[in-house]
């Protein structure tokens, strides 16, 4: 078995644990195989790959795209360590407004799948981190949005009080402010 899939407390959000094969030369792992992911409950079709390098203390997020280009994301770390967070923005679910955070790092090789309808963000915990993620819809700047990383309504337990933020992320609205623009349901 190349992967184990662990369901998290937000519906559709899965921790993907790969099998790592190591010997005197180093290590090998698969990072994605469509048939295995489908068997594990991820039937998404990925259409774009992204990569970001960030230094310690950088927080990116919480980002999402509205339908019809809402993005599911498969996030992994190829170097370093992050706290990866998903916030459920699907109003028709009892987990609306709930968040789940998972540490991802290069040693475990674990990945996190976030279905469409979740806001996504991460905080770099190591000196530097390279984060790679596949998305299910291409980037559409006219549909992008986000929620403040420190929204008291979400009460995310970030392990850093003053992260480094982009000016854009510093200006993101609260969940209360963005709530009226949320347009998707679970099936989208």
- Catalytic residue positions? 63, 133
CB 29 within 8 A of CB 19: yes
Strands, E assignment, 98-169: 99-105, 111-114, 118-124, 128-135, 144-146
Q: Which residues pair with 77 in a beta bridge?
A: 131
Of 9, 17, 37, 169, nearest to 101 (Cα)? 9
Which H or E element spans position 75? strand 73-79
């Amino acid at each position: 078995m190349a992967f184990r899939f662990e369901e998290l407390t937000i519906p559709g959000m899965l921790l993907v644990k790969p099998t790592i094969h190591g010997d005197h030369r180093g290590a090998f792992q698969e990072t994605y195989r469509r048939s295995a992911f489908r068997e594990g409950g991820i039937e998404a079709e990925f259409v774009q790959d992204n990569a970001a390098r960030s230094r310690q203390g950088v927080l990116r997020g919480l980002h999402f795209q509205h339908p019809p280009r809402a993005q599911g994301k498969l996030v992994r770390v190829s170097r370093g360590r992050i706290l990866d967070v998903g916030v459920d923005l699907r109003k028709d679910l009892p987990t609306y407004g709930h968040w789940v955070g998972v540490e991802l790092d290069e040693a475990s090789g674990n990945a996190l799948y976030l279905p469409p309808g979740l806001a996504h963000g991460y905080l770099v915990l190591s000196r530097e981190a390279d984060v790679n993620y596949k998305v299910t819809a291409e980037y559409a700047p006219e549909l992008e949005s986000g929620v403040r990383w420190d929204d008291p309504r979400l009460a995310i337990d970030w392990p850093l009080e003053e992260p480094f933020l982009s000016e854009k992320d510093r200006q993101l609205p609260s969940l209360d402010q963005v709530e009226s623009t949320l347009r998707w349901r679970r099936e989208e």
